[in-house]
């Protein structure tokens, strides 16, 4: 009811009620007037007949004899008889009354009747009257017809009957005929009819109004829903436009006033839309803003197509120079004429800067900001093309930092990173026009300008060597490092990027082998060695699959000569390359990552072999530091022990200190997991590093193996003897067994026995051979005999 339709329905109901009451009342009063008009004429006509009959009777009374009643008596008795005949309940009452004071039989029944009769006598030619009267609280309809003495006989009659009253004369009003009709029943009927008509009209109008209101309400409801939906859509569009990350501006083409500017436009252009919307800023100080918001607007209006401006640089008052991409579109009205110009602008400044940063990061090293490998290769290709076109020559320098590993291990990686940054700045300052890049780790490369080679390369190498020859003060630490440099010259040492880089690396390898702080130029024999190394690596990839690897076993004995186990040593026999020494292919395997596959094969094969020995001797297997870096080594060892059934206590894993040097925490964690399996851990090549003592303190090794470089000189070199003696004493103090490697003479064995060394290994005890050579030691005597007979 609170809606417009509800309020309209209430108003309609009020109007219907008013109209219904008016119609009911009109019908009521119309019925009364109709009754008065028609009943009055009927009653007057009847009374005229009565009056005429009495008059005629008076005229002919003499014909009936002297005994005939006088007219007055005749009239009175006739009316009395008529009323009796109608009965008491009849609504029709007829009376003949005389004037007050002159009545013969019947006088006026009430004051109103008397006044009406006297009024007839006061005027000439009186006319009958009809009216509604309230008599004694009852509404009646009364018709009064004047009775006039029109016959002399009638006058004489009345005078005879009333000798003591005033005399009648001809044409005097002697009384009146009166008809009274009670109106209660009629009024009741008319009232109900009026009420019924009013109520029926009210209900009909109400129903019609209600129907119309419902239809209108539904229409309004639909309109309201449409308006609400339109409002929500408008609000949604306003919200979308307001929060779009694009600048949105709309201008009226006809009056050149701004129609719409969103929040992003304010932020990008540094404007206040309240001061612009609805204004034509042509010729004002804001015209530059218009040019920024609608670049090339006239062209967009001319072409009528979407206009795209890929990059537009503007100067904003609050945010400096910004780079935008803008789209302009002319929008016509319903007549097809151009009405609005829409401009969408996106601020791509940060994107361009990010792209530039990404581009820079893609081509530069994150630590030193020097060009990276990708940028270096691209520059090398350009240098090769330029040199080939001009017939010139340039050099590629492969630079490696000496003693960098020691700096990392001693002072930590943070100091190592600072060293690389400082060195990059120093080398970059010396490089001049040369192109310096960092390829990774402590490896740098440099491309010289095109010039006289090898003189230019030698000069630059000398300058770089001299720059880092002294101590470097870095965060209060005095660090001494050096450079090893390998040089390859275009086109003599290679005409393509790959060859040049490989040859420069070969020269670097030669320089590092010759000692620290050296520079070596590429030579043909380096290429041969490099080719050989690549051939080894290529063949090594499929050595396990082709079953070319073999295990040889070297005895491990107590100092008294009792064999307590064997060390498994891998050998490789290639059909093309022949027998290849482990000293040759193991470093290649470690550099290429193939040591993971080879190490797993050695471990599984050694454990499988040892598990089948009748005598439960120990089996020792060497682990590479590379195996600690990749994969789950403890999980592999556990799996192999389960597969082969070898008791964990029989397996001894030999490691070098490189396992702990490269990543101490990770290496120590893996060693503890291996120890938890029940296997033995031995420190191999003890004494060759500088931090072995700290490792002995950090982890409970099961054995120490003294490197053969000390044992070989134990009789000829007092220093070697002192070191061996000290290591044995240290191990006994830690309650650790000591094994001496490389024992080849009786004199060496006697020295170790005198120093209470626990175990020995070397040619004196036995050379590495296939396990069949030691069948008797492992308990396979019968098998050995059968093999010898077969041979």
304-348: per-residue pLDDT in tens? Answer: 677 777 788 888 877 788 888 888 887 887 777 777 888 888 888
- Omega of the bond leading into 246 within 30 degrees of 0 (cis): no
Query: How far apart are the C-alpha atoms of 204 and 210, rounded to whole Å?
Result: 10
pTM above 0.75, yes or no: no
Taking 70 as the threshold, does the pLDDT of residue 785 lie above it? no
Query: How far apart are the C-alpha atoms of 379 and 389, rounded to whole Å?
Result: 15
pLDDT of amino acid 786: 41
Percentage of the chain beyond pLDDT 70 is: 86
Dump pLDDT digits (tens) for 400-416.
988 787 777 777 788 88
Output 414 or 99, whichever has higher pLDDT. 414
Mean pLDDT of the 633-644 span: 94
Mean pLDDT of the 535-564 span: 88
Taking 90 as the threshold, does the pLDDT of residue 654 lie above it? yes
Mean pLDDT of the 592-596 span: 84
pLDDT of amino acid 31: 78
Taking 70 as the threshold, does the pLDDT of residue 5 lie above it? no
Mean pLDDT of the 781-788 span: 47
Dump pLDDT digits (tens) for 113-160.
887 887 877 788 888 888 888 777 777 778 887 887 776 767 777 777
Confidence of residue 782 (pLDDT cuts 50, 70, 90): low
Query: Of 105-119, 284-298, 506-520, 709-723, which one has max mean pLDDT?
Result: 709-723
Confidence of residue 16 (pLDDT cuts 50, 70, 90): confident
pLDDT of amino acid 788: 36
pLDDT of amino acid 787: 41
Confidence of residue 61 (pLDDT cuts 50, 70, 90): low
Secondary element (H or E) of residue 366: none
Question: DSSP code of 348?
Answer: -
Mean pLDDT of the 200-215 span: 81
Strands (E), 407-507: 435-440, 443-447, 471-474, 477-480, 482-490
Taking 80 as the threshold, does the pLDDT of residue 7 lie above it? no
Mean pLDDT of the chain: 82
Inter-residue contact 328 to 341 (CB < 8 Å): yes
- The per-residue DSSP string of 105-160 comes to S---SSHHHHHHHHHHHHSSS---EEEEEEETTEEEEEEEEEEE--SHHHHHHHHH
Query: How far apart are the C-alpha atoms of 85 and 92, rounded to whole Å?
Result: 11
Percentage of the chain beyond pLDDT 90 is: 24
Confidence of residue 784 (pLDDT cuts 50, 70, 90): very low
pLDDT of amino acid 522: 87
Output 179 or 9, whichever has higher pLDDT. 179
Per-residue tokens: 361: 């990061």
């Amino acid at each position: 009811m609170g809606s417009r339709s509800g309020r309209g329905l209430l108003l309609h109901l009020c109007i219907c009620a008013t109209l219904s009451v008016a119609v009911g009342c009109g019908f009521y009063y119309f019925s009364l007037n109709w009754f008065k008009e028609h009943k009055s004429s009927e009653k007057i006509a009847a009374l005229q007949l009565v009056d005429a009959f009495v008059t005629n009777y008076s005229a002919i009374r003499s014909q009936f004899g002297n005994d005939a009643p006088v007219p007055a008596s005749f009239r009175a008795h006739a009316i009395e008889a008529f009323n009796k005949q109608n009965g008491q309940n009849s609504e029709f009452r007829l009376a003949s009354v005389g004037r007050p004071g002159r009545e013969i039989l019947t006088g006026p029944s009430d004051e109103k009747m008397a006044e009406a009769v006297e009024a007839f006598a006061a005027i000439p030619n009186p006319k009958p009257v009809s009216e509604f009267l309230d008599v004694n609280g009852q509404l009646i309809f009364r018709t009064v017809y004047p009775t006039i003495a029109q016959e002399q006989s009638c006058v004489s009659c009345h005078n005879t009957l009333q000798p003591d009253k005033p005399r009648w004369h001809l044409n005097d009003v002697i009384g009146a005929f009166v008809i009274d009709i009670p109106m209660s029943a009629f009024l009741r009927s008319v009232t109900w009819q009026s009420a019924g008509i009013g109520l029926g009209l009210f209900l009909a109008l109400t129903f019609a109004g209600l129907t119309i209101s419902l239809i209108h309400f539904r229409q309004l409801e639909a309109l309201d829903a449409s308006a609400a939906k339109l409002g929500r859509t408008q609000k949604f569009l306003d919200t979308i436009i307001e929060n779009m990350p694009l600048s949105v501006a709309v201008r009226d083409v006809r009056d050149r006033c701004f129609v719409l500017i969103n929040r992003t436009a304010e932020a990008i252009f540094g404007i206040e839309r309240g001061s612009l919307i609805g204004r034509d800023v042509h010729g004002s100080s804001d015209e530059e803003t218009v040019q920024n918001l609608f670049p090339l607007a006239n062209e967009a209006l001319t072409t009528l197509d979407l206009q795209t401006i890929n990059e537009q640089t503007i100067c904003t008052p609050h945010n400096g120079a910004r780079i935008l991409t803008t789209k302009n579109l002319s929008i016509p009205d319903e007549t097809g004429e151009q009405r609005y110009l829409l401009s969408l602008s996106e601020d791509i400044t940060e994107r361009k800067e990010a792209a530039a940063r990404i581009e820079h990061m893609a081509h530069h090293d994150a630590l030193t900001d020097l060009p990276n490998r990708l940028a270096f290769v691209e520059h090398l290709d350009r240098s090769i093309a330029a040199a080939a076109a001009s017939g010139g020559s340039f050099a590629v320098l492969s630079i490696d930092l000496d003693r960098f590993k020691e700096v990392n291990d001693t002072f930590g990686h943070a100091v190592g990173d600072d060293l690389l940054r400082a060195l990059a700045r120093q080398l970059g300052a010396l490089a001049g026009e040369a192109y310096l890049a960092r390829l990774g780790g402590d490896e740098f490369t440099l491309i010289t300008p095109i010039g006289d080679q090898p003189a230019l390369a030698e000069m630059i190498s000398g300058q770089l060597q001299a720059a880092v020859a002294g101590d470097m003060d870095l965060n209060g630490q005095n660090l001494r490092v050096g450079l090893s440099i390998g040089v390859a010259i275009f086109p003599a040492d290679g005409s393509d990027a790959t060859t040049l880089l490989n040859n420069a690396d070969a020269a670097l390898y030669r320089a590092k082998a010759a000692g620290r702080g050296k520079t070596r130029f590429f030579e043909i024999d380096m290429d041969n060695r490099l080719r050989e190394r690549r051939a080894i690596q290529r063949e090594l990839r499929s050595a396990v699959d082709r079953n070319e690897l073999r295990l040889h076993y070297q005895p491990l004995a107590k100092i008294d000569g009792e064999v307590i186990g064997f060390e498994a040593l891998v050998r490789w026999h290639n059909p093309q390359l022949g027998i290849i020494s482990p000293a040759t292919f193991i470093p290649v395997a470690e550099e290429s990552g193939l040591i993971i596959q080879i190490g797993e094969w050695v471990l599984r094969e050694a454990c499988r072999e040892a598990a089948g020995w009748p005598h439960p001797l120990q089996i020792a297997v060497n682990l590479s530091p590379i195996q600690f870096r990749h994969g789950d080594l403890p999980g592999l060892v556990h799996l192999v022990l389960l597969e082969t059934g070898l008791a964990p206590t029989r397996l001894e894993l030999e490691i070098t200190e490189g396992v702990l040097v490269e990543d101490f925490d990770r290496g120590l964690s893996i060693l503890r997991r291996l120890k938890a399996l029940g296997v033995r851990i031995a420190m191999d090549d003890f004494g060759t590093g500088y931090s072995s003592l700290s490792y002995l303190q950090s982890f409970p090794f099961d054995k120490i193996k003294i490197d053969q470089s000390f044992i070989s000189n134990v009789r000829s070199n007092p220093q070697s003897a002192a070191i061996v003696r000290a290591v044995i004493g240290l191990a006994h103090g830690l309650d650790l067994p000591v094994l001496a490697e490389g024992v080849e003479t009786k004199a060496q064995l006697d020295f170790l026995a005198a120093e209470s060394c626990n175990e020995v290994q070397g040619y004196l005890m036995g050379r590495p051979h296939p396990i069949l050579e030691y069948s008797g030691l492992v308990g396979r005597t019968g098998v050995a005999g059968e093999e010898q007979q077969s041979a």
